[in-house]
Structure 1
């Protein structure tokens, strides 16, 4: 478990004992996990990992779940070969570690992945989802890449000073009511900025009683009181993608 000085409770929740049904591929300078649906499709979703990296079983489980719902899914290593964070690492060094992995400086990797999806997978309709660190990345990409027709940012940290409202395409924001690194006043500020300036569809939803990481980190059978909200969050994510892709 993380020590008392941890900066992000991303290790809260349960690791899934899950191997994945996709395959690993090389996409230019990065590795990626790819899963394809049973039927041919031109719809694809990029899944952006949290601080624990692209190999985390929980994230691959979500990628596979999206694939079973009709999307080519790809979970690239947005750390580009640099080590992911481990729960056993010293959280007092987390801020220094994070400085070399800026979620807003991933456009090079995103461009490589988009090229791969279009040229190698025949994808024409593209979306993106991301968790925690990946939620920040989704928010950034939805303000910078018009090719992404829908985005779902799950518990991505917001700062009061962030430029948050210049979304290019519909974006859905998922937050937990009891998330102790994303205070509700920051969510309210995001909503105010979007309401004032955003020109595209968006939605912000806060799930009662839920903590950081609940959509991809909690196992329904171990946390029965959370099960309805886990399922609701996953269904909401899929419904948003279905609506706009």
Structure 2
């Protein structure tokens, strides 16, 4: 068969992959259910290969890009996992203090894609920190399957403490102007919502298709929110109406976008769920939002 194209794949296949990517089904069940769609020249092997992330082929900002400085550092998370590894990135030139951005990974640790996103934020003029919540378990293991398994062993509220500690580290950094925001994807989207609840002086929060904070916690939110949702992400979107209702009732500052004909993970350019038009627009809106709020 010719090279598989995104438009050749039924929505049910993307929904099935979403179940697998979020550990709602195991690999064996995923392969078995995927076989139903191995028709018309498609094979399970070709479908699996098509759906799995291609990290090297999607890097936008190389680690050695001369326009940025990027290094691994460790910081302390006393209420979380202890000593946490993170990628710290910033523009290579200029002595001016910059707004800070905490970049929060998905449900599988600090993989090459999230490191790339952190470098993109630095290239846009911010100092970014991208923690690896898997550090207490040895760090991102090199594959997403293993990463998901490891992350499932950590308590998510303890991981939240790790990202709050990253906020504290970045805010006090000599390179930061004291204004810090957060952007998170999937699991990281939930973290971004919860950091808005937990941190009174958080300057901005940008959850990408992330689970919402409990509505009873909405009164605690002080940070302006920019929320990105995917049209076909029924699981995450189910919580939005009540969340928006609470945001309105408590007069919170927020802007929400629903991107047509997109799936959960549409910003991740390493998998076929990626939607270039939506991802480009959402990232542009995110950077503009940070430029406004983190000055």
Q: Give the TM interval when normalised to the shorter protein.
A: 0.7 to 0.9
Cα deviation, residue 50, structure 1: 0.8
Task: Give the structure 1 partner of residue 279 of structure 2.
Answer: 230
Cα deviation, residue 61, structure 1: 1.3
Superposed counterparts of 1:1-245, under 5 Å? 6=20, 8=22, 14-17=53-56, 18=59, 20-21=63-64, 22-28=70-76, 29-38=83-92, 39-40=94-95, 41-54=97-110, 56-82=111-137, 86-88=143-145, 98=152, 100-103=154-157, 105-158=159-212, 162-163=215-216, 165-166=218-219, 167-182=221-236, 184-197=237-250, 199-215=251-267, 217-218=268-269, 226-245=275-294
Distance (whole Å) between structure 1 residues aligned to residue 223 and residue 255 of structure 2:
12
Distance (whole Å) between structure 2 residues aligned to residue 101 and residue 187 of structure 1:
24
* Deviation >4 Å, runs of 4+: 1-5, 9-13, 83-87
Distance 1:165 1:116, change over 3 A: closer
Distance 1:25 1:4, change over 3 A: closer
Distance 1:149 1:104, change over 3 A: farther
In the alignment, structure 2 segments of 5+ residues that lack a partner are 1-13, 25-47, 65-69, 77-82
2:265–2:273 contact (8 Å) kept in structure 1: no
* Structure in which a larger fraction of residues adopt helix: 2
RCO higher in 1 or 2 (8 Å CA, sep ≥ 6)? 1
> For the aligned residues, what is the CA RMSD?
3.4
In the alignment, structure 1 segments of 5+ residues that lack a partner are none
TM norm structure 2 = 0.68
1:27–1:113 contact (8 Å) kept in structure 2: no
Point out the more displaced range, 33-42 or 75-84.
Answer: 75-84
